[in-house]
A and B are shown apart, each in its own frame.
Chain A
Amino acid sequence: EAQVTQNPRYLITVTGKKLTVTCSQNMNHEYMSWYRQDPGLGLRQIYYSMNVEVTDKGDVPEGYKVSRKEKRNFPLILESPSPNQTSLYFCASSTPGPPRLETQYFGPGTRLLVL
């Protein structure tokens, strides 16, 4: 089954404790992206990757890091989480090039609470 998986689905942590949220897709997609969803703000892009070893900032990259060492994986790293990073996080993937780039497949989400 074609899918995007994220782990963990739920996470409670404390300020300053490094954490990683994993994202993996089995569709051989080149493009992957991370979004955060906050009430009243919709989804905002954090980082994206057009291919292996190619990453770039989205609209809200502060406090986050990513890596893309393999095509299927795109982990989101919070080196020193703060309470304002409490949010619902989504990973997405697609093939590049119009129009397929626009059909992005989303993971189930990771709900993060930073105390």
Chain B
Amino acid sequence: AQSVTQLGSHVSVSEGALVLLRCNYSSSVPPYLFWYVQYPNQGLQLLLKYTSAATLVKGINGFEAEFKKSETSFHLTKPSAHMSDAAEYFCAVSHAGSGNTGKLIFGQGTTLQVKP
């Protein structure tokens, strides 16, 4: 069975500081991994995804994530936070094997607060 754990339901950073949102996954088959962002009163938007190519994945808005198989992690980072980054972030996993139904398993979400 697959699962996702996001460490920290709320993260607060100052504008210009490093953003680090943690995600650990559990999967018995090679995973596909995703980060989605949800701005207030909006749907989910894909930030980036890992699908077994490069382990360092660059996404939109200056975000990137690194797939570390040995640590079963896919942490999201951004060197310098902007006020507009304040949102809820979801890590998700699906699997690359046969029988892929497309289901995404989501973490609980992390709310990012950016202080001026």
On A, residues with C-beta under 8 Å from B are 4, 31, 33, 35, 40-45, 48, 50, 56, 58-59, 90, 92, 94, 96, 98-99, 101-104, 106-109
Tally of A-B Cβ pairs under 8 angstroms: 69
Contact A98 B104 (CB under 8 A): no
Q: Which of B1-59 contact A (CB under 8 A)?
A: 4, 9, 32, 34, 36, 41-46, 49, 51
User: Residue among A31, A102, A103, A108 with the most chain B CB within 10 A?
Assistant: A102
Given contacts A102-B49, A107-B43, contact A42 B103 (CB under 8 A): no
B106 engages A90 (CB within 8 Å)? no
Cα distance A3–B103 in the bound complex, in angstroms: 20
> Separation in Å of the B81 CB from the closest CB of chain A?
23
Instruction: Chain B residues near A102: list those with CB within 8 A.
Output: 32, 34, 49, 51, 94, 102, 104
Complex-state Cα separation, A31 to B103, whole angstroms: 10
With an 8 A cutoff between CB atoms, is B108 at the interface? yes
Contact B106 A101 (CB under 8 A): no
Give the complex CA separation of A35 and B108 in angstroms: 14
